[in-house]
Amino acid sequence: MNESKRNFAVGLFMIGGIAVLGYLMVLFGEAPGWLGGAEYELRIEVHEISGIDDGTPIYLNGIKVGRVTTLNFLDMAHPEMGVVLMGKIKNEFSIPVGARAECISPTLGIGRGRVDIFASGGSGHIEPGGAIKGVMVDSLERIFPEQMATSFEKTVVGIGDFAEAYAPVANDVHELLKIRTVGEVDSDPEKMAANLYTAVQRLDQVLKSLGEVVGDTEMRGKLHAVMDNLLAMTEDAKVAMSDLRETTAALKTDMAKITKGAEQALTSIDTRVNELADAALPTLDHAAKTASNLHRVSDKIADGEGTLGRLLNDERLYEATLLAIQRVQDMVDSFRRLAERFERRGRIGLDVGGFPADQPLSEPK
């Protein structure tokens, strides 16, 4: 094959490939507008736009239905009125009336944005060249819900407040950990107070001194002696604890015996008390009956019943008794005067009126 034939075959193959590509583009609806692809226009009006360019895909409820072709202002003289996105929608997809669009910017500025159309269930479909309203949505708002963003914002504010409140504490901690040697503190203790660094340095000096003391041969021998004494004390403590355990066991046994004897004694006492109580019950009943009888007798005497009652309640008997006692007293007085008279005459030796009983009778004059 000569060169001219080869070039003709290559050119023919290229023309056939381009024709097949055009046919496929028309068949699948991806043909450019100047070829009359199977698409219709849709206007999306938003207030502002970011991260959306020509070729940005358009999705209807998550399914890709078209692409953005151009972006322009609603009114070139008044850019503040908003932006309009011209999109191409495949003919097999219809946009319901009342649908809304969300223009989502690329996440963290990486990749391409997208336009999501959400159908609201309205009746009818938007005619080719119609318009729907849209809003610009930050991709981070979809990754992080509003509640999470609010919570995160509160957390950040709380961390900031905590950092601000912790600043004085951090300054105090810095002063506490600041290098401040023992020599500096001892040289001017009024102006410079000791801190944690000073305390650690003092502890290091104490440990060094302790190491020097422990490293001394004589002190090491004394420490060995102290340890031996502690070991001996430990052994003695073990023996004492063993004796204490044995004593405790013996005390438990004795206490059990004592408790048992006490229980038996209490049982015997309880039995004896019950017997005495049983024996005393008849006597107490008899005493109660006697007391009741005495009470009835005393009531009858008080009421003047019976001989004794009439005697005790008879006023004449009382007056007669007083009169008899008075007459007996008069008789005793008369007898006493008579005795004194005989005594003065020396006829009897009675001790009457202070005269001794053994005084001899004087001769009558």
Q: Two tokens at 132?
A: 């729907």
Quick one: average pLDDT of 20-24? 80
CA dist 192 and 179 (Å) reads 12
Strand ranges, E, within 114-225: 114-118, 131-137
pLDDT digits (tens, 9 = 90+) for 226-243: 888 898 899 999 899 988
CA dist 256 and 243 (Å) reads 20
Q: Which of 191-200, 210-219, 248-257 has the highest mean pLDDT?
A: 248-257
- Residue that wins the pLDDT comparison between 87 and 213: 87
111 Rama sector, left if φ>0, alpha if ψ -120 to 50, beta otherwise: left
Quick one: average pLDDT of 197-211? 82
Asked if residue 72 lies in contact with residue 86, where contact means CB atoms within 8 angstroms, the answer is yes
Looking at residue 146, its pLDDT comes to 67
Range in 6-20, 209-223, 303-317, 348-362 the model is least confident about: 348-362
Instruction: Give whole-number Cα distances, 72 to 39, 46, 48, 82, in Å.
Output: 20, 11, 11, 9
- Residue that wins the pLDDT comparison between 125 and 107: 125
Looking at residue 365, its pLDDT comes to 44
pLDDT of 169 strictly over 60: yes
Residue with tokens 């959400």: 118
CA dist 63 and 92 (Å) reads 12
Question: How would residue 8 be classed by pLDDT, with cut points 50, 70 and 90?
Answer: confident
CA dist 313 and 60 (Å) reads 131
Burial of 134 (0-12, 13-18, 19+ CB in 10 A): buried
Residue with tokens 């102290």: 226
Asked if residue 88 lies in contact with residue 66, where contact means CB atoms within 8 angstroms, the answer is yes
Range in 36-40, 93-97, 99-103, 287-291 the model is least confident about: 36-40
Looking at residue 312, its pLDDT comes to 65
pLDDT of 272 strictly over 50: yes
pLDDT of 110 strictly over 60: yes
Query: pTM of the entire structure?
Result: 0.35
Question: How would residue 355 be classed by pLDDT, with cut points 50, 70 and 90?
Answer: very low
- Residue that wins the pLDDT comparison between 310 and 363: 310
